[in-house]
Structure 1
Amino acid sequence: MPKISTEDKHLTVLNLFTTDVPENQDKLVQEMRKIVDAATYEGWMSSTVHAGVDSPGTANFIQWRSGEDLEERYKGDEFNHRTLPVFGEITTSIKLLQNEVAFTQEHPSLGGSIEIGPHRDDYTAIAVFPVLKENQEELIDALGPGQGFFLETPGFRSHVVLRGLRARGLEGSFVVSYSQWESKEAYDAYKAVPQDQKPASRVAAEGRCRAVVAGIPDINTYRVVHTRSAGE
């Protein structure tokens, strides 16, 4: 199963698709599974397909050996004349985000390793934060090391911060937060904590984030429905 680590220096691509109805989400998942199961691209390492929960849509968490390998994929006839047109018909937005893993933290019960796949049954939250380039590192620090309180939060499993490098379908710099929870109830309870009951470290981290975020974060929750790695 794919693992997420700051020690791996490969490219992490997060493809986010939104749609307007659950039926189109099902079509998106079907099309993404076809692509993942047939993938033999040079430099492709793994793909993990997520189905939207709070809002219809999908996320594909993809690991590539390098940006050069990904660009070869983007230049191909299949991508430009089949993949993009098919997704264009059933989506309301497409964001293709290239990133590197900047920070990870996991609950001690995970044994120091973050895995992604349907075998784990994680409830996953993905948030994309717009930020000015000069404030990107501050936001990464606030979202990463500044969120140590997660380890004391019931239901928390892991948290990954991705440094945005470049994107299609999204202007400007960005940072991505990818977190795993044991259930929707645990995540919703974390989000619903009243301001006066939050630990001081959480209040401080959220204040740092608000000070540099340059727009409304794009947030959705997901369940992993399919994964495959090269060689499988």
Structure 2
Amino acid sequence: MPLISVEDKHLTVLNLFTTDKPENQDKLIQEMTKIVDAAAYEGWMSSTVHAGVDAPGTANFIQWRSGEDLEKRYAGEEFKHRTMPVFSEITTSIRLLQNEVVHVLTSDALGGKVEIGPHRDDYTSIAVFPVAADGQDEAVDALGAGQLFLKDFPGFRANVVLKGLRARGLEGAFVVTYTQWESKESFEAFRDQAPQQQSEARKAAVARLQAVLQGAPSANTYTVVHTRAADE
């Protein structure tokens, strides 16, 4: 199963699709699963398909050897003339985000190891933060090292911070967080915690992030429904 690590230096691509109907989410998952199961692209390492929970949509967490390998995929006839037209018909937005993993924090139980796959029961949150170009490193630090307090929050499993490199469907600099929780209830308890109950460390991290944001963050929650790696 795919592992997320700073040390591996993979190119990580997050393909985030939104749609307006649950049945279209089902179609998205079907189409994405077909692509993942048939994948044999040079440099492709793994794909993990997520189904939206809070709102209809999907996320595909993809690991590539390099940006050059990904661009070959984008330049291919199949991607341009079949994949994108099919997805465009059943989505309300498409964002293809290229990133590098720059920070990983886990609960003590995980011991620094972040694994993703349908064999796990993680409740996953993916959030995209548009930031000022000169504030991207500050946002990375606020969302990464500034979140050590997460380890003390009940139900926390892992927090991965990805630094945006380039994107299709999203302008400007950005940072992404990929967070795993024990349950929907534990995630919502953290998300909805009243400011007066938050730790000073959390308040400081929020203030640092707010200072460099360029627009409202976007987020959804997911469960993993399918995964495949090139060596399987």
Match of residue 192 from structure 1: 192
Q: Post-superposition shift, 1:193?
A: 1.2
Deviation sequence 1:57-90 (CA, Å, 0-9, x none):
0000000000000000000000000000000000
Deviation sequence 1:159-186 (CA, Å, 0-9, x none):
0000000000000110001100010000
1:193-232 correspondence to structure 2 within 5 Å? 193-232=193-232
Instruction: For 1:62 and 1:195, locate their aligned partners in 2 and report how far apart those are by CA, in whole Å.
Output: 35
Q: What is the aligned-residue RMSD (CA, Å)?
A: 0.5
Match of residue 149 from structure 2: 149
Instruction: For 1:77 and 1:151, locate their aligned partners in 2 and report how far apart those are by CA, in whole Å.
Output: 46
Instruction: For 1:120 and 1:224, locate their aligned partners in 2 and report how far apart those are by CA, in whole Å.
Output: 8
Match of residue 14 from structure 1: 14
Is the Cα contact below 8 Å between 2:103 and 2:160 reproduced in 1? yes
Match of residue 139 from structure 1: 139
Other structure's SS at 1:108 match: coil
Match of residue 39 from structure 1: 39
Q: Post-superposition shift, 1:112?
A: 2.1
How many residues matched?
232
Structure 1 segments, 4+ long, off by >2 Å, are none
Identical residues among aligned pairs (%): 69
Note the residue ranges of structure 2 that are not aligned, 5 or more in a row.
none
Instruction: For 2:133 and 2:6, locate their aligned partners in 1 and report how far apart those are by CA, in whole Å.
Output: 21
Match of residue 52 from structure 1: 52
Instruction: For 1:229 and 1:209, locate their aligned partners in 2 and report how far apart those are by CA, in whole Å.
Output: 34
Note the residue ranges of structure 1 that are not aligned, 5 or more in a row.
none
Is the Cα contact below 8 Å between 2:162 and 2:175 reproduced in 1? yes
Is the Cα contact below 8 Å between 2:50 and 2:58 reproduced in 1? yes
